[in-house]
């Protein structure tokens, strides 16, 4: 994190990445003094509502973040930046996106958790687009020409008001990670009761084990002895609001609909109280570790791995076989995981895997048979990318 004082003093000359968060209400024009070097600009967590025309001077800018600001209109001045590839306006108050708002090299756009009713048709002209996050808006339909986004690989349209299944998306040739729950077209009254409901007073949370977009997972202990559950448990407490992947309630229902599988985190019980939603799960043994790391700004949609990490071909083949089995189980239960990645997979020294994180999952039993088959084919692409990524770390 940098400071406005550092910027104004000239101390930051030559930097390629600038991050300012000081409740700014105006874009500091001193940023323009970094035009010769600045590639990444993060102005998240401020009070900005506009950007100046002078921003066109930042000719080397590739990435711009402005999450958690009160913008109400997407600033079309960004379209003038020739090398801008990634734009993030998560959790603003954007209602309007102008017709010619997008720069020519845009490949990653985040508009999650805004108030957008309509997207311009020009979005379909962003032919380099690989990653598009639109969850948590008020969209009732999508531009028909999104069918032109032939490079799109990851798409989030959950938690909108889409009335019909957007058929123009289902035939995209590279789409692999797709989240669409929480829309009228896939509304389900299904309340899965595959596990019992219990009171949150039954357990006490201990140390945090992990945290994601939709909630926090903690180790927990029972407050009195339980005969029907294992002694060691983990509890995921959902955050209760829309996330980058959709609504927590949809995640819970999809997770329960899938049921149990040896290579999935096992669900034991649920808590569904006012302002408190939680899932009780088996505690994963501590010798399991993450198989991959999330995509980077450079890799965009593809997993990354620690430097020097490798796997034997035998271990890769075993993991792939187990993941194929998980894939079949998911789709036999008409659930699209939406986030089939190595970074959502744990593994041990014997190459056993445990797959989890249903934040982007979508149930699709209510769709037509043709639509269901296309959803399955989309996620099969993600499975193939998973295999490719593991093969990229095969030991010599």
The mean per-residue pLDDT over the stretch 242-261 comes to 85
Answer yes or no: is 267 within a domain: yes
For the entire predicted model, the pTM comes to 0.94
Binding residues for ATP: 236
> How many domains, the chain?
1
Answer yes or no: is 312 within a domain: no
Residue 136 CA: distances (Å) to CA of 139, 222, 254, 267: 9, 35, 18, 27
Which tokens belong to 391? 């093969």
Answer yes or no: is 342 within a domain: no
Which tokens belong to 79? 């379209």
pLDDT at 214: 81
pLDDT at 228: 85
Answer yes or no: is 217 within a domain: yes
What are the pLDDT digits (tens) for 353-380? 999 889 899 999 999 999 999 999 999 9
Answer yes or no: is 112 within a domain: no
Strand partners, 204: 221
Kindly provide the b/e burial profile for residues 56-80, where b requires at least 16 CB atoms within 10 angstroms of the residue's own CB. bbbebbbbbbbbbbebeebbbbbbb
DSSP 301: T
The secondary structure of 350-367 as a DSSP string is T--EEE---TT-EE-TTS
Instruction: State the Cα–Cα distance between residues 15 and 3, nearest whole angstrom.
Output: 13
Answer yes or no: is 216 within a domain: yes
Question: Nearest CA to 319 among 354, 361, 276, 275?
Answer: 354
Residue 153 in this model has a pLDDT that exceeds 90: yes
| Residue ranges making up the domain that contains 242 | 200-282
Rounded to 5 degrees, φ, ψ at 385 are -65, -40
Spatial contact of 360 and 254, defined as CB atoms under 8 Å apart: no
What are the pLDDT digits (tens) for 218-230? 999 999 888 889 9
CATH of the domain at 217: 3.30.200.20
Helix (H) or strand (E) holding 331: helix 313-332
Binding residues: 236
Residue 191 in this model has a pLDDT that exceeds 80: no
Instruction: State the Cα–Cα distance between residues 163 and 177, nearest whole angstrom.
Output: 21
What are the pLDDT digits (tens) for 294-332? 999 999 999 999 999 999 999 999 999 999 999 999 999
Spatial contact of 241 and 91, defined as CB atoms under 8 Å apart: no
Residue 168 in this model has a pLDDT that exceeds 80: yes
pLDDT at 247: 85
Q: For residue 328, how many other CB atoms are within 10 A of its CB?
A: 13
DSSP 383: H
pLDDT at 216: 92
214 vs 119, higher pLDDT: 119
Pure H helices in 94-190:
167-170
Answer yes or no: is 149 within a domain: no
pLDDT at 252: 87
What are the pLDDT digits (tens) for 252-300? 889 989 988 999 999 999 998 888 999 999 999 999 999 999 999 999 9
Residue 78 CA: distances (Å) to CA of 38, 55, 70, 97, 121: 15, 8, 17, 12, 17
Answer yes or no: is 250 within a domain: yes
How far is CA 219 from its chain centroid? 24
Rounded to 5 degrees, φ, ψ at 35 are -55, -30
What are the pLDDT digits (tens) for 2-43? 999 999 999 999 999 999 999 999 999 999 999 999 999 999
Max mean pLDDT among 110-119, 194-203, 244-253 falls in 110-119
* Helix, strand and coil in the chain, % to nearest 5: 25, 20, 55
Question: Nearest CA to 363 among 259, 260, 270, 258?
Answer: 258
Spatial contact of 3 and 23, defined as CB atoms under 8 Å apart: no
């Amino acid at each position: 994190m940098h400071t406005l004082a550092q910027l104004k003093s000239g101390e930051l000359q030559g930097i390629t990445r600038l991050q300012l968060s000081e409740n700014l209400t105006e874009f500091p024009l001193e940023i323009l003094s970094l035009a010769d070097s600045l590639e990444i600009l993060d102005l998240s967590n401020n009070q900005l509502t506009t950007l100046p025309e002078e921003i066109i001077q930042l000719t080397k800018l590739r990435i711009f973040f402005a999450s958690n600001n009160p913008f109400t209109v997407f600033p079309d001045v960004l379209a003038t930046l020739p090398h801008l590839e990634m734009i993030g306006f998560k959790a603003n108050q954007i209602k309007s996106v102008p017709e010619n708002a997008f720069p020519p090299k845009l490949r990653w756009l985040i508009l999650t958790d805004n108030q957008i009713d309509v997207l311009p048709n020009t979005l379909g002209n962003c032919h380099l687009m690989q990653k598009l996050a639109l969850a948590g808006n008020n969209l009732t339909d999508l531009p028909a020409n999104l069918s032109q986004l032939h490079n799109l690989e990851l798409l989030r349209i959950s938690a909108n008001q889409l009335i019909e299944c957007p058929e123009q998306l289902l035939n995209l040739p590279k789409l692999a990670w797709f989240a669409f729950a929480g829309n009228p077209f896939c509304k389900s009254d299904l309340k899965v009761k595959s596990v019992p409901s219990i009171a949150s007073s039954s357990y006490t949370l201990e140390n945090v084990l992990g945290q994601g977009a939709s909630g926090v997972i903690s180790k927990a202990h029972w407050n009195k002895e339980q005969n029907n559950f294992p002694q060691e448990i983990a509890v995921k407490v959902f955050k209760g609001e829309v996330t980058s992947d959709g609504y927590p309630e949809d995640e819970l229902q999809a997770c329960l609909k899938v049921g149990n599988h040896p290579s999935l985190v096992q669900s034991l019980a649920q808590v569904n109280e006012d302002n408190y939603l939680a899932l009780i799960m088996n505690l994963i043994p501590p010798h399991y570790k993450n198989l991959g790391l999330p995509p980077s700004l450079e890799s965009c949609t593809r997993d990354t791995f620690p430097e020097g990490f490798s796997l034997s071909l035998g271990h890769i083949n075993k993991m792939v076989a187990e993941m194929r089995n998980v894939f079949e189980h998911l789709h036999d239960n008409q659930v699209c995981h939406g986030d089939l990645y190595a970074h959502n997979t744990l593994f041990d020294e014997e190459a056993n895997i445990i797959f989890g994180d249903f934040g982007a999952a979508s149930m699709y039993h209510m769709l037509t048979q043709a639509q269901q088959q296309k959803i399955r084919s989309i996620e099969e692409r993600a499975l193939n990318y998973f295999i490719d990524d593991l093969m990229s770390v095969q030991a010599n």
